[in-house]
């Protein structure tokens, strides 16, 4: 008989796979970290699970964040996909919006990336639906046999169907989907209105194609993972993190692969919200730095920002996902000599294999981790999480080679200032990422705290805060496992959207309420099927609004039970003022889209991070020389597990713990909050 006592969250990163397990009986948290295995993510998941040493049958919940969809697109390893569309729209994917991509505007060598579906695999059918939903050319009864034979002969592995104006009436799309599924057997077929029901055929078609392109890859991975877990005795349901910050069932993920694109990094945002609540901080900017990349996101009034109009690589993706900005700067980012002789850092990474030179796994190129080791910020006499013993000699050899490549007048650079320069260049890039999600969105980063996590986040977040004059840094307990923690906290989430509306003055509130009620019924039924009774559900509506004639919209909360036109107008004016500094109450505005976020609420663990540490315990492990820009400092090294609540220290300091190391610059003050979080004050922020 099993006890069903463990909740497990697993985050697969580019370098490491992190696992965090909550024992629901004792509320203890167990952690482990193992190297990720590129191309074999499921093996890293199983390896991490094996490190915990718990009984597989005792697991009652399993949530997983994966980068499988991201990698498949970036490496162009998705399925061979065909696209079926309305007569005359075969080249919509190629034409797009007839504008060059950002970054290619002034590049004379710019070449527009090719569509994911080559022209030979794009087919037209005699269908036509008018803008009001009237079916002008029906394909009910259309013989798809010849088309199906062509698709099979071409080796197609997935099919996307996108008809113009299907967002209003998807009858013909559904008819074509049913017809082709009967003929194609195991080959997956999806249609655009089932993926995203919004205006704009290019974005809708692109999203549908992305979903089809990724579906076989994601499905194969999920089938392999669940099969291997079952073979090891894991009978608990497996959920996958969605790009919207909520969890998805395996069935959802298999049918909506495009919704898993940010499955990896979104867990950290949910964890950050909970850490902020425990520490009494409503507004923060997350700084998640791992071995390969750094992800930043803005949380305002405990709510992460959501984007519905996204672009992944060269392709529009019109699904709700957390507004996360990613740059290629991580602990494994490689330092190199540019063509003009200058020092460059990233975006190329040493990854999990061979990894940084100091990992001793065959890497020979200098990385940020090597730089931090040379600057005394990482230990050489103690192993890191995962049993990793760092090799300082290998790091020195890698940097001596780079110093020779950067030699001026035949004189190589000294490796200590070179290592410091590598960190400073990376910090400047990471500060730019923070500006992207704050200043570029109308927020001042000085009004927020920076929350550093990930394996390398606490090492660099203080320097980024100094670069931006951010007054406060917070470092959670188990920072290297915060994304896995966020997965344990994630509610089940379903998003629904309908293109609906018109001029606000002409709308009948009763019609709006009826449309919202229909959306809520469908979502409630789906959540109940997933095991969430009505009392464990939450439904929140917004409407996308704009002034008549505008192209862009703003999301406004909607009281779906009693819609009020005047209240909507005022709410839109408030949101417009917040974003643009002005509003016009006399201008006509309109509703474009109704959106619904439905949550299946899961039990939240108490998250007890503090323990009975004696107030007079000595948390100092040792003192060692650490470089802080102006020179070497005899710096205290703290064991975070022995730092009691209310303890306050002043930098410089190094704080070590399982899965993360915090590098506290001189004059910063660090206080251990009652929740276990480190609250750190910037002396230069005033």
Going by pLDDT thresholds of 50, 70 and 90, the confidence category of residue 76 is confident
Contacts of 442 (CB under 8 A, 6+ apart): 578, 579
Q: What is the DSSP letter of 480?
A: G
Over the stretch 275-309, which tens digit does the pLDDT of each residue have? 999 999 999 999 999 888 899 999 999 999 998 88
Entry pTM: 0.88
Asked whether residue 223 carries a pLDDT value surpassing 50, the answer given is yes
Asked whether residue 386 carries a pLDDT value surpassing 80, the answer given is no
| CATH T-level topology, domain 491-600 | Dna Ligase; domain 1 (3.30.1490)
Pair 262, 244: CB distance under 8 Å: no
Among 507, 579, 592, CA closest to 542: 592
The residue ranking higher by pLDDT, 3 or 458, is 458
pLDDT at residue 416 in the model:
95
Query: What phi and psi values does residue 147 have, to the nearest 5 degrees?
Result: -65, -45
What is the arithmetic mean of pLDDT over 397-402?
A: 95
What is the arithmetic mean of pLDDT over 5-19?
A: 82
Asked whether residue 379 carries a pLDDT value surpassing 80, the answer given is yes
pLDDT at residue 1 in the model:
39
Contacts of 172 (CB under 8 A, 6+ apart): 127, 129, 135, 138, 139, 140, 163, 166
Contacts of 52 (CB under 8 A, 6+ apart): 19, 21, 30, 32
Among 73, 398, 453, 395, CA closest to 260: 73
Domain extents for the chain? 6-72+219-260, 79-211, 267-330+425-488, 333-418, 491-600, 620-681
Q: 6-72+219-260: which CATH number, 2.60.40.3080, 3.40.50.1110, 3.90.1300.10, 3.30.420.40? A: 3.30.420.40
- Token pair for residue 522? 């469908």
Query: What phi and psi values does residue 576 have, to the nearest 5 degrees?
Result: -65, -40
Distance CA 371, CA 391 (A): 12
Is 267-330+425-488 assigned to CATH 3.30.420.40?
A: yes
The residue ranking higher by pLDDT, 616 or 174, is 174
Using the structure block, give the residue that is written with the tokens 């990854």. Answer: 351
What is the arithmetic mean of pLDDT over 241-252?
A: 91
Over the stretch 178-206, which tens digit does the pLDDT of each residue have? 999 999 999 999 999 999 998 889 999 99
- Token pair for residue 420? 């410091």
Q: Which of 33-42, 401-410, 425-434, 494-503 has the lowest mean pLDDT?
A: 33-42
Percent of the chain topping pLDDT 70: 97
- Token pair for residue 259? 């919704």
Percent of the chain topping pLDDT 90: 59
- Token pair for residue 636? 């205290």
Asked whether residue 368 carries a pLDDT value surpassing 80, the answer given is yes
Distance CA 96, CA 390 (A): 49
What is the arithmetic mean of pLDDT over 397-421?
A: 90
Is beta strand 537-547 parallel, antiparallel or unpaired with respect to 306-307? unpaired
Is beta strand 284-289 parallel, antiparallel or unpaired with respect to 294-300? antiparallel
Asked if domains 6-72+219-260 and 267-330+425-488 share a fold, the reply is: yes
């Amino acid at each position: 008989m099993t006890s069903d006592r463990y909740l497990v969250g697993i985050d697969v990163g580019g370098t490491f796979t992190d696992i965090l397990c909550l024992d629901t009986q004792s509320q203890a948290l167990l952690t482990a970290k193992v190297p990720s295995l590129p191309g074999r993510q499921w093996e890293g998941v199983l390896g991490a699970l094996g490190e915990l040493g718990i009984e597989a049958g005792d697991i009652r919940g399993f949530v997983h964040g994966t980068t499988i969809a991201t990698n498949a697109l970036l490496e162009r390893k998705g399925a061979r996909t065909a696209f079926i569309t309305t007569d005359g729209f075969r080249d919509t994917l190629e034409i797009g919006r007839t504008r060059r991509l950002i970054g290619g505007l002034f590049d004379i060598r710019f070449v527009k990336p090719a569509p994911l579906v080559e022209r030979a695999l794009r087919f037209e059918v005699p269908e036509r639906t008018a803008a009001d939903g009237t079916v002008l050319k029906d394909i009910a009864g259309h013989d798809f046999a010849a088309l199906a034979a062509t698709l099979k002969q071409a080796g197609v592995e997935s099919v996307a169907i996108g008809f113009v104006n299907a967002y209003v009436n998807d009858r013909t799309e559904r008819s074509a989907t049913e017809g082709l599924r009967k003929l194609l057997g195991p080959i997956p077929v999806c249609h655009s209105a089932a993926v995203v029901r919004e205006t704009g055929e290019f974005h809708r078609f692109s999203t549908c194609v992305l979903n089809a392109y990724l579906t076989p890859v994601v499905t194969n991975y999920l089938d392999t993972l669940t099969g291997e877990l079952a073979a090891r005795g894991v009978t608990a349901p497996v959920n996958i993190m969605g790009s919207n910050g909520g969890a998805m069932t395996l069935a959802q993920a298999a049918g909506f692969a495009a919704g898993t694109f940010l499955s990896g990094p979104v867990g950290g945002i949910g964890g950050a919200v909970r850490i902020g609540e425990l520490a009494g901080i409503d507004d923060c900017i997350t700084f998640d730095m791992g071995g390969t990349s750094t992800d930043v996101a803005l949380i305002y009034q405990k709510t992460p920002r959501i984007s519905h109009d996204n672009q992944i690589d060269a392709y529009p993706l019109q699904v709700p996902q957390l507004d996360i900005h990613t740059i290629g700067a991580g602990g494994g980012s490689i330092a190199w000599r540019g063509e003009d002789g200058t020092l460059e850092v990233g975006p190329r990474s040493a990854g999990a294999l061979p990894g940084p030179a100091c990992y001793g796994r065959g890497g020979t190129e200098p990385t940020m981790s090597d730089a931090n080791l040379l600057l005394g910020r990482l230990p050489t006499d103690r192993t890191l999480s995962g049993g990793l013993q760092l090799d300082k000699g290998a790091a020195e050899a890698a940097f001596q080679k780079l110093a020779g490549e950067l030699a001026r007048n035949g004189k190589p650079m000294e490796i200590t200032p070179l290592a410091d320069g590598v960190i400073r260049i990376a910090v400047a890039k990471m500060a730019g990422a923070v500006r992207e999600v704050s200043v570029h969105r109308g927020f001042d980063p000085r009004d927020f705290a920076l929350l550093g996590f990930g394996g390398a986040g606490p090492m660099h977040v203080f320097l980024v805060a100094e670069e931006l004059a951010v007054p406060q840094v917070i470092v959670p307990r188990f920072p290297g496992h915060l994304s896995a923690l966020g997965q344990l906290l994630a509610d089940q989430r379903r998003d629904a959207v309908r293109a609906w509306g018109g001029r606000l003055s002409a709308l009948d509130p009763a019609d709006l309420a009826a449309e919202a009620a229909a959306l809520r019924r469908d979502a409630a039924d789906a959540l109940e099927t997933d095991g969430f009774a009505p009392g464990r559900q939450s439904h929140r509506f917004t409407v996308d609004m704009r002034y008549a004639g505008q192209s862009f919209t703003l999301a406004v909360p909607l009281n779906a039970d009693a819609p009020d036109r005047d209240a909507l107008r005022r709410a839109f004016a408030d949101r417009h003022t917040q974003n643009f500094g002005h509003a016009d109450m006399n201008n006509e505005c309109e509703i474009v889209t109704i959106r619904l976020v439905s949550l299946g609420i899961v039990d939240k663990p108490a998250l007890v991070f503090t323990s009975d540490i004696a107030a007079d315990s000595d948390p100092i492990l040792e003192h060692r020389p650490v470089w802080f820009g102006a020179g070497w400092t005899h710096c205290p090294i703290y064991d975070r597990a022995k730092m009691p609540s209310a303890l306050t220290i002043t930098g410089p300091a190094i704080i070590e713990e399982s899965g993360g190391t915090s590098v506290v610059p001189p004059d910063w003050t660090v206080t251990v909050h009652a929740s276990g979080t480190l609250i750190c004050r910037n002396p230069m922020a005033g």
